[in-house]
């Protein structure tokens, strides 16, 4: 009995020494080795997806001047009216050596529309670049908050495993002196094994999340990486319609889709102009040799060529119909994405409201009560007023709610991050602004 009492006193000392039962705020003084904004900024500079989107935009922004430029002029060199019986340049008056330049000039307005289409594509590529940065920012936030949860869950589980080890020793000691039952020992060992299994999974998750962060940073998956700092609860409330309006103005993905609608609208105007002819202007200079009858003057030729749209029904008219369908398709895609963002914002706002209420309940009600319940069970167990299972259940209940608190905290920050990305804003951008 003295050994059991000594172990119980040791366990109580460990609880007091560790600041139990206030683990939720015990980590505030711990120095943070990873900062979310620094990680995001580094990822935006190094991530291959972001760099690829940037390169694509740089390619597309070179196209508008090309699209609006005239076709290269055609230089022609030829022999005109050379008689095949003598192959002489002097016998026939119309025999000449000719040099010509031909330039195609599109119907007025076509070049501007082609340039406008290319410009809209370049603007869409720029928005795609911004969306790629948004995507990487979102993925970094998700990984960071999940890593924060894994770290805190490991800390809570490790601490409770040590407490459970002491409880198991007490149960074994009391059983060995005939004051306990074997069931208590088995129950403690089962719960201890479950905690070890949970730690295995949490540590595996931690390694996976660090590998994910390293990948976003374009580093080897197992490169050394610190742990997140403290993540505090963040209040968030906003009008859903205002968020949707903000998304319509700022979300790069929606801006890219709008630019593609505008590009297709310019394409329709261009298709309608395809029935108007382009012009091929040709200027030629013919040099004639002097003949038997005397000196021959050189000649100049000028002409204009105009294509005839004889196959309008199967070509130009079909192109107009195709362009109209392209516009409608792009508009439908824009509407579908807007609806998806509207639903996501509403869903995340509801989730944030629920999580905030649950966290407040845990922090101010459930966890303090569970702590008092454990304290009471421990005190009663010391004087044999409650059994071992009651103490163990109280400990495991408190452990469950501590883990749940950190899960809710991480989920809350992830939901806020989802909304920030949905409306086209990030904490880094707001900080810079």
List, for residues 320-343, the tens digit of each pLDDT value. Answer: 888 899 899 999 999 999 999 899
Structural domain contains residue 10: yes
Domain that holds residue 230: 2-70+106-274+309-432
Structural domain contains residue 250: yes
pTM for this structure?
0.80
Structural domain contains residue 296: no
Structural domain contains residue 287: no
What pLDDT score does 27 carry?
46
58: tokens are: 């740089």
What pLDDT score does 31 carry?
37
C-alpha closest to that of 394 among 424, 433, 366, 425: 366
What pLDDT score does 184 carry?
67
Residue 133 phi, psi (nearest 5)? -65, -40
Structural domain contains residue 202: yes
Q: How many residues does the chain have?
A: 433
What pLDDT score does 426 carry?
55
Q: What angle do CA 239, 242, 245 make, to 5 degrees?
A: 155
Structural domain contains residue 150: yes
C-alpha closest to that of 418 among 322, 334, 352: 352
d(CA 353, CA 362): 14
Structural domain contains residue 293: no
What pLDDT score does 20 carry?
40
**Segments of the chain with pLDDT less than 50:** 1-10, 12-32, 427-433
Say how many domains are in the chain. Answer: 1
Which residue do the tokens 């580093």 mark?
219
Structural domain contains residue 208: yes
CATH of the domain at 336: 1.20.1600.10
d(CA 399, CA 407): 13
Alpha helices, DSSP H, located in 63-181 = 63-68, 110-176
d(CA 286, CA 293): 19
Contact 228, 30 (CB under 8 A): no
Strand-pair category, 74-80 with 299-305: unpaired
Count Cβ atoms below 10 Å from residue 360 Cβ, excluding itself. Answer: 11
Strand partners, 97: 79, 287
What pLDDT score does 427 carry?
41
What pLDDT score does 13 carry?
41
């Amino acid at each position: 009995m003295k050994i059991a009492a000594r172990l119980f006193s040791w366990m109580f000392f460990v609880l007091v020494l560790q600041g139990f039962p206030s683990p939720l705020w015990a980590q505030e003084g711990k120095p943070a080795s990873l900062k979310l904004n620094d990680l995001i900024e580094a990822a935006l500079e190094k991530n291959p997806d972001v760099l690829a989107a940037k390169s694509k935009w740089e390619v597309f922004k070179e196209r508008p001047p090309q699209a609006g430029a005239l076709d290269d002029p055609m230089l022609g060199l030829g022999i005109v009216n050379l008689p095949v019986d003598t192959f002489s340049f002097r016998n026939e008056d119309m025999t000449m050596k000719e040099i010509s330049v031909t330039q195609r000039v599109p119907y007025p307005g076509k070049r501007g529309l082609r340039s406008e289409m290319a410009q809209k594509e370049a603007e869409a590529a720029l928005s795609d670049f911004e969306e790629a940065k948004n995507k990487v920012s979102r993925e970094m936030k998700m990984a960071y908050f999940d890593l924060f949860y894994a770290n805190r869950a490991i800390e809570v589980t490790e601490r409770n495993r040590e407490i459970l080890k002491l409880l198991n020793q007490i149960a074994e000691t009391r059983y060995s002196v005939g004051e306990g039952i074997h069931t208590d020992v088995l129950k403690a060992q089962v719960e201890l094994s479950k905690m070890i299994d949970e730690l295995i999974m949490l540590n595996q998750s931690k390694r996976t999340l660090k590998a994910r962060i390293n990948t976003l940073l374009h580093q080897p998956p197992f490169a050394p990486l610190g742990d997140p700092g403290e993540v505090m609860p963040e209040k968030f409330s906003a009008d859903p319609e205002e968020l949707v309006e903000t998304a319509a103005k700022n979300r790069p993905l929606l801006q890219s889709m709008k630019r593609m609608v505008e590009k297709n609208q310019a394409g329709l105007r261009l298709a309608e102009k395809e029935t108007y002819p382009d012009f091929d202007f040709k200027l030629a200079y013919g040099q004639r040799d002097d003949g038997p009858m005397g000196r021959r003057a050189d000649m100049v030729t000028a002409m204009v060529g105009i294509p005839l749209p004889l196959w309008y029904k199967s070509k130009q008219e079909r192109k107009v119909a195709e362009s109209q369908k392209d516009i409608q398709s792009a508009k439908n895609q824009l509407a579908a994405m807007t609806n998806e963002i509207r639903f996501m914002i509403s869903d995340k706002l509801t989730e944030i409201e629920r999580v905030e209420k649950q966290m407040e309940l845990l922090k101010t009600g459930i966890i303090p009560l569970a702590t008092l319940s454990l304290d009471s069970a421990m005190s009663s167990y010391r004087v044999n007023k409650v059994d071992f299972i009651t103490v163990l259940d109280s400990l495991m209940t408190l452990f469950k709610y501590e883990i749940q608190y950190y899960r809710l905290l991480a989920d809350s920050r992830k939901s806020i991050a989802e909304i920030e990305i949905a409306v086209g804003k990030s904490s880094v951008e707001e900080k810079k602004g």
